[in-house]
Amino acid sequence: MTVKLHFHGATRVVTGSCYMIETDRARLLVDCGMFQGSKTEKELNYRAFPFDTRKVDTMLLTHAHIDHAGLIPKLVKAGFAGKIHATHATCDLCAVMLPDSGFIQETEVRQLNERNRKRGLPEVEPIYTADDARDALTHFEGIAYKTWITPVPGIRARYWNAGHLLGSASIEVEIERPGRGPLRLLFSGDIGPDQKLFQPDPEAPTDFDYVVCESTYGGKDRFARSEEKRRENLGTELRAAASRQGAVLIPSFAVERTQEILVDLIALMDKGVIPNAPVFIDSPLALKATEIFSQHAKSLENGEALVRALASPYVKTTESVEESKAIARFSGFHIIVAASGMCEAGRIRHHLKNNLFKPNATVLLVGFQAAGTLGRLLEEGAQAVKIHGEEIKVRATIRRFEDYSGHADGPELLQWLRERLPIARMVFLTHGEEEAQLAMADDMASAGIMAADRIGRPILDDIYDLSGEAPVRRAAEVTPRISPDKMARRDWHNELAELTLAINDEIGKAADEKARAVIIRRLKRALADGNGNMPPPNKRRRNGDEGRGGARGFDEG
């Protein structure tokens, strides 16, 4: 019997998780997530799927995060008619996250189309709407951990707690083979770290033929963090921010990350470690997700702490746009927690636009920032960015705080793999950028977990035939949607925004109108030449000042 494994996402990038198991009897998807990152990568969300959606029989979903579940409404809209198997908590979270994703797309497309009409450009359609998402929810079927199901003939599956998010799972799959034992696969999903506030340590069985393993923080030792040390470090950051007497912006994933941060913030205030201050949870999705977490509080570690935090008089929740805008009237030390975690959409962008130029403001980045996102640009030291088409100077203090990461780091991933041994044939590294994957592969080989020639790093739309004693990489059955060297990179949109900001910076620093005219003539000449050679920099620039005009930029539309 033929067994093929298709890699349609999360290949040498952190987002877009999507795999397909194809046998002679069935086609089964594992995840169907959105790509996040540069515009080049996000454009993949708008393209047709690289497979016939009507011929997919069923889906296994690891968890509710949008980079794993975000294209499910598009899949259903395109003709998928099967069931979507997920844990009960994942079903509950998807019930609020997917319609919210559709609503955001409708809103952003509406705003983009208003700009396009003024520019004389054609209108665009959202990937899917909130109604499309609600239609997709009728396909979900909740299952329990550690319980075998048979989603399609010849394949059975079992879910194990991955310790990453409420309802998250690693998925064990067995494929029947006539006259032989079953082919055993494990899809890690996202593996949680040690010391996760709400989740237990990840678990899964042993003895597989193939393991598909995430590698987000491959090769990186983030250090061990206890709850006490995490709060101590957060307290240090926030006392410094409070001394500046400005807003603290925390771009945060609405599901679990926001709830973890809220618990710690209120604990620090209750103990007098940081000054009492308003904590604005400015995310309708976070509020809905928090309700679900409260419903599952008994099954969560530290669930009662979340219930207590929500009752704090310092916690302020906002739902309407008007309530969100009203936050801008606050002065002094206050904290705003808003989605999205990579600063790519949602209300956090408005708060950034209102505060990035203020020297007394602080931005605390508490999660992974994909290449090309506004969050990554800020993390890398952007001097100016574009938000909603406006240039914003970055004078706020930008801080990176890794203690809330929902992903295992390099040593924790290696330990997770050790506990899965023996792995007979291959480990496929996915859900990580190339540098992290290479480092993790080296560490796996050095630790004796897996020989170097049995560690695979698929590229987008790769197909591996798993029918024989060793995997065989097959030529893709479709034209590659994007070149591997375009993944997890800053793209031309980023470069154009950076160039625009640099030009504005140079012209703004020019001594007078004559000097500005010289710069503009040089630019026009360079464009007219068409040779791609830009003119020399302004002669006024002193040695050592080269970085001043090199702002990193971002323009969402």
Q: Are residues 205 and 237 in the same domain?
A: no
Let me know if residue 556 belongs to a domain: no
Q: Are residues 259 and 343 in the same domain?
A: yes
Let me know if residue 279 belongs to a domain: yes
H or E element in which residue 501 lies: helix 492-509
Contact between 360 and 244 under an 8 Å Cβ cutoff? The reply is yes
CA distances from 154 to 6, 146, 375, 469, 546 (A): 18, 19, 44, 19, 63
Q: Are residues 338 and 472 in the same domain?
A: no
Let me know if residue 299 belongs to a domain: yes
Contact between 348 and 339 under an 8 Å Cβ cutoff? The reply is yes
Contact between 405 and 367 under an 8 Å Cβ cutoff? The reply is yes
Let me know if residue 283 belongs to a domain: yes
Size of the chain, expressed as the number of residues it contains: 557
Query: Given CA atoms 500, 506, 509, 513 in this order, what sign does their dihedral have?
Result: negative
Q: What is the pLDDT along the chain (557 residues), one digit of tens a residue?
A: 899 999 999 999 999 999 999 999 999 999 999 998 888 888 999 999 999 999 999 999 999 999 999 999 999 999 999 999 999 999 999 999 999 999 989 988 898 889 889 889 999 999 999 999 999 999 999 999 999 999 999 999 999 999 999 999 999 999 999 999 999 999 999 999 987 888 889 999 999 999 999 999 999 997 666 888 889 999 999 999 999 999 999 999 888 889 999 999 999 999 999 999 999 999 888 889 988 988 887 888 888 888 899 899 999 999 888 999 999 999 999 999 998 888 988 899 999 999 999 999 999 999 888 778 899 999 999 999 988 878 899 999 999 998 888 899 999 999 999 999 999 999 999 999 999 999 999 999 999 999 999 999 999 999 999 999 999 998 766 677 887 777 766 666 677 777 777 777 778 777 788 888 888 888 888 877 765 554 454 433 333 333 323 322 222 23
Let me know if residue 317 belongs to a domain: yes
Cis status, amide bond into 405, omega within 30 of 0: no
Query: Given CA atoms 445, 446, 449, 451 in this order, what sign does their dihedral have?
Result: positive
Task: Among 404, 434, 449, give the residue marking a domain's end.
Answer: 404
Q: Are residues 233 and 334 in the same domain?
A: yes
Let me know if residue 65 belongs to a domain: yes
Task: Among 459, 486, 513, give the residue marking a domain's end.
Answer: 486
Name the domain count of the chain.
3
Let me know if residue 557 belongs to a domain: no
Q: Are residues 192 and 245 in the same domain?
A: no
Q: How far apart are alpha carbons 21 and 76 in whole angstroms?
A: 18
Contact between 406 and 196 under an 8 Å Cβ cutoff? The reply is yes
Q: What is the DSSP string of 342-359?
A: TSSSSTHHHHHHHHTT-T
Contact between 276 and 333 under an 8 Å Cβ cutoff? The reply is no
DSSP state of 37: S
3-class DSSP state for residue 9?
coil
Q: Are residues 350 and 385 in the same domain?
A: yes
Q: How far apart are alpha carbons 350 and 343 in whole angstroms?
A: 10
Let me know if residue 32 belongs to a domain: yes
Question: Residue 31's CB: how many other CB atoms inside 10 A?
Answer: 28
Kindly state the greatest CA–CA separation across the chain.
Answer: 84
Q: Are residues 376 and 412 in the same domain?
A: no
Position 111 scores a pLDDT of 85
Contact between 187 and 207 under an 8 Å Cβ cutoff? The reply is no
Q: Give the CATH number, domain containing residue 363.
A: 3.40.50.10890
Q: Name residue 23's beta-bridge partners.
A: 3
Domain that holds residue 301: 227-404
Position 478 scores a pLDDT of 61
Residue recorded with tokens 């319609």? 99
Q: Are residues 24 and 94 in the same domain?
A: yes
Name the residue type at position 67. Answer: D
Neighbouring residues of 291: CB distance < 8 A, sequence distance ≥ 6: none
Q: What is the DSSP string of 280-330?
A: EE--HHHHHHHHHHHHTGGGSTTHHHHHHHHT-TTEEE--SHHHHHHGGG-
Query: Angle 475-476-480 (CA atoms, 0-180°, nearest 5)?
Result: 130
Question: What is the Cβ-side half-sphere exposure of residue 107, based on CA atoms within 13 angstroms?
Answer: 11
Position 531 scores a pLDDT of 57
Q: Give the CATH number, domain containing residue 171.
A: 3.60.15.10
Task: Among 388, 404, 420, give the residue marking a domain's end.
Answer: 404
Contact between 493 and 40 under an 8 Å Cβ cutoff? The reply is yes
Query: String of b and e for 178-206 (b: at least 16 CB within 10 Å)?
Result: eeeeebbbbbbbbbbbeebbbbebbebee
Q: Are residues 466 and 539 in the same domain?
A: no
Alpha-helical regions (H) of 380-472: 410-418, 434-446
Q: Are residues 103 and 244 in the same domain?
A: no
Question: What is the Cβ-side half-sphere exposure of residue 92, based on CA atoms within 13 angstroms?
Answer: 18
Q: Are residues 390 and 296 in the same domain?
A: yes
Position 214 scores a pLDDT of 98
Question: What is the Cβ-side half-sphere exposure of residue 22, based on CA atoms within 13 angstroms?
Answer: 16
Q: Are residues 112 and 239 in the same domain?
A: no
